[in-house]
Structure 1
Amino acid sequence: MGQSGVDGNRVDPRERGRDRRADVVCLGESLAVFVPDGHQARRYLLTVGGAESNVACHLARAGLPVRWVGAVGADDLGEAVLAHLRSFGVDVTDVRIDPERPTGLYVKEPHADGSRMRYYRRGSAASALGPDLLAALDLSATRLVHLTGITAALSPSCHALSRAALAPRSGGHLVSFDVNWRPVLWRDQDARVLTELANAADVVFVGEDEAEALWGTGDPERVRELLPAPTTLVVKQGARGATLVEGDALVFQPALAVDVVEPVGAGDAFAAGFLAATLAGAEPTRRLRAGHLLAAATLCSHEDVAEPLPADLVADLLAADETTWAAARVTREGVTGR
């Protein structure tokens, strides 16, 4: 399957890197990830993950100039993270290499009800990031800055970085914020901070289950009452779909039926698809469908950043009527029911 944008247009890899401007800047921690080798018991393969860098990889593959900004250690795992991001066409020029702190990592452990994650990120290179990172960035050509609630939970200085990124902005760029509620990270901290951060963003993503845990409701209209400031609110409702709340509009778009292989990374894929379509000026239903399409491809893979669906298929489904959309089912072998 080839590389494709949300509008179905192919991206020529030779065009990447020619324009040093970054339409999108993604701030956060990228980690080395050890995943089980499906062919041998108790053997693990090294890959790379991290919410913000996953979004960066998806957007770069869709043809957008993207920078990932964070920190890695001066170690082999840090080199692996940077090589992975470069392979997708992500600009890593502004990444800090920490000579003392290690690259963060997590391990996917197989379990009967799906993978379990064990994180080793305390004292990582990214946990030392702070507001000074923003002062060193040129955001003059940037259209969107993306971050998540994970970064704010890593350390007090990362919390300050998140606040700085969401502070009143004079540059004209949008800021998107994925709540990404991680109870373990917030165990000894006040998670109400996430409400303040989300309400300072222009575009907010939150899962229905996350909203229920944080605010006692996953209902999009009630969540909107709690977050009145963002221009765009998207409540992800799992396999049922997602609801966009924007101005007076409340738009629900069902998700595609999917034969799920691994759920990890699907939320990042949804955010990337939605954001790419937003930057392209798409209307609400098309933005939601773009998110669902990229999420569906990731759900059918063990990878955090899976190959997108074929470009011609993406174009057809973005423009499909409701009956055709509802009949489609995404599997590892392709799409059936159209």
Structure 2
Amino acid sequence: MTLFVPAEPGPAEEVVTWTRTVGGAESNVASHLAVLGLRTAWVSAVGDDAFGRALVSAVASFGVDVSGVQVDPLRPTGLYIKESDASGSPVRYYRRGSAASGMGPALLGTLPLDGVRVVHTSGITPALSDSCLEMMRALAAAPRTFTLSFDLNWRPRLWADRDPAVLRDLAAVADIVFVGSDEAELMWGLGEPGAIREFLPETPTLVVKQGERGATVFEGTSPPVFQPALRVDVVEPVGAGDAFAAGFIFGTLSGWTPRRRLRCGHLRAASSLLTHHDVGPSLPAEFVSRMLDASEAEWAAATVTGDHP
């Protein structure tokens, strides 16, 4: 979606100048993965309007293939407003009746999935419309030769007139699932990683994001692995979860250990936390390489600031 963030400090109601940028869970993940050097494509729908054209161009600028994005001649491009704040940014969505809400199962037949290794989805899409929900169910049920990644991305306002129980069903059949402990607490009354694992025992790889504390990964019957988050001088937190997912997926495709995958996620999230935008500049490559294999003491002592480490 098109994203507007304040271009000046102060309460949102007093801000006069806003900066237009890009946002959206799946496009964020695709953009981060492209920046990390992987071939990625983003499939969605935008309106036949200036915002849609700017959005597609912006996502493409990160190196993402946008040839599968459809242009809806009738519905507008979705947008949202982010009232940026380091402690947690209120987000206002304007996506009802958007071009993306018009997507449906027929879209799946247009996807060139040969050779695709991961398809990443989120719990936002099934909340947009009945047709989007049908599309997500069809994708989850279809035979696949790729890894299906699913980020819960709980958005209460989107589910005000829908049954969110479907999110549990979609998570149960995915190969990699990302769940925030805060989301799980709100949805299912389960905040502890172990309890979330008991609730989702079918998922081959379950990643529980625990905010500034860190993240835990469960895989099969192996013991869970917890990795603390880096200390970061946070500018604004929205979008960090998508960055984390991209880093973890990158590590998964690289064949890394659970701990290294979690660290890759934290490092990518840190780059997002340092900016008002959902996809910010990468951390220095030398620092990332060093921290991926750092000792626990060195990891714990690191702090990431606007001037980097």
TM-score (norm 2): 0.96
Query: Equivalents in 1 of 2:308, 2:39: separation in Å?
Result: 29
| Runs of 4+ off more than 6 Å | none
2:220 is the alignment partner of 1:247: yes
Q: CA deviation at 1:200?
A: 1.0
Query: Equivalents in 2 of 1:110, 1:322: separation in Å?
Result: 32
Q: Aligned pair in 2 of structure 1 residues 168, 218: CA closer, same or farther (>3 Å)? A: farther
Which residue number in structure 2 is paired with residue 281 of structure 1?
255
TM-score (norm 1): 0.88
How much identity, in percent, do the aligned residues show? Answer: 58
1:283-326 alpha-carbon deviations (Å, 9 max, x no partner): 10000000000001111111100111111110000010100000
Which residue number in structure 1 is paired with residue 44 of structure 2?
70
Which residue number in structure 1 is paired with residue 97 of structure 2?
123
Alignment of 1:73-84 (within 5 A): 73-84=47-58
**Secondary structure of 1:261 counterpart:** coil
Among 237, 242, 264, the alignment partner of 1:290 is 264
Alignment of 1:262-281 (within 5 A): 262-281=236-255
Query: Equivalents in 1 of 2:84, 2:61: separation in Å?
Result: 27
Query: Equivalents in 2 of 1:246, 1:123: separation in Å?
Result: 39
Among 160, 173, 182, the alignment partner of 1:200 is 173
Larger relative contact order (CA 8 Å, sep ≥ 6):
1
* Aligned amino acid, residue 166 of structure 1: A
Which residue number in structure 2 is paired with residue 24 of structure 1?
none
Answer yes or no: is the 8 Å Cα contact 2:244–2:265 preserved in 1: yes
2:121 is the alignment partner of 1:151: no
Q: Aligned pair in 2 of structure 1 residues 143, 118: CA closer, same or farther (>3 Å)? A: same
Answer yes or no: is the 8 Å Cα contact 2:117–2:146 preserved in 1: yes
* Aligned amino acid, residue 233 of structure 2: D
Query: Equivalents in 2 of 1:141, 1:190: separation in Å?
Result: 35
* Aligned amino acid, residue 45 of structure 2: A
Residues 216-225 or 130-139, more deviating: 216-225
Structure 1, unmatched stretches of 5+, are 1-30
**C-alpha RMSD of the superposition:** 1.3
Q: CA deviation at 1:115?
A: 2.6
Which residue number in structure 2 is paired with residue 211 of structure 1?
184
Which residue number in structure 1 is paired with residue 155 of structure 2?
182
Q: Aligned pair in 2 of structure 1 residues 137, 303: CA closer, same or farther (>3 Å)? A: same
* Aligned amino acid, residue 315 of structure 1: S
Which residue number in structure 2 is paired with residue 20 of structure 1?
none
Q: CA deviation at 1:140?
A: 1.0
Structure 2, unmatched stretches of 5+, are none
Query: Equivalents in 1 of 2:189, 2:111: separation in Å?
Result: 37
Among 276, 281, 292, the alignment partner of 1:318 is 292
Q: CA deviation at 1:169?
A: 2.0
Query: Equivalents in 2 of 1:114, 1:233: separation in Å?
Result: 25
**Secondary structure of 2:215 counterpart:** strand
* Aligned amino acid, residue 285 of structure 2: A
* Aligned amino acid, residue 216 of structure 1: G
Query: Equivalents in 2 of 1:109, 1:296: separation in Å?
Result: 20
* Aligned amino acid, residue 65 of structure 1: R
Which residue number in structure 2 is paired with residue 32 of structure 1?
2
Query: Equivalents in 1 of 2:267, 2:82: separation in Å?
Result: 24
Query: Equivalents in 1 of 2:194, 2:7: separation in Å?
Result: 43
1:268-289 alpha-carbon deviations (Å, 9 max, x no partner): 0000000001001001000000
* Aligned amino acid, residue 33 of structure 1: L
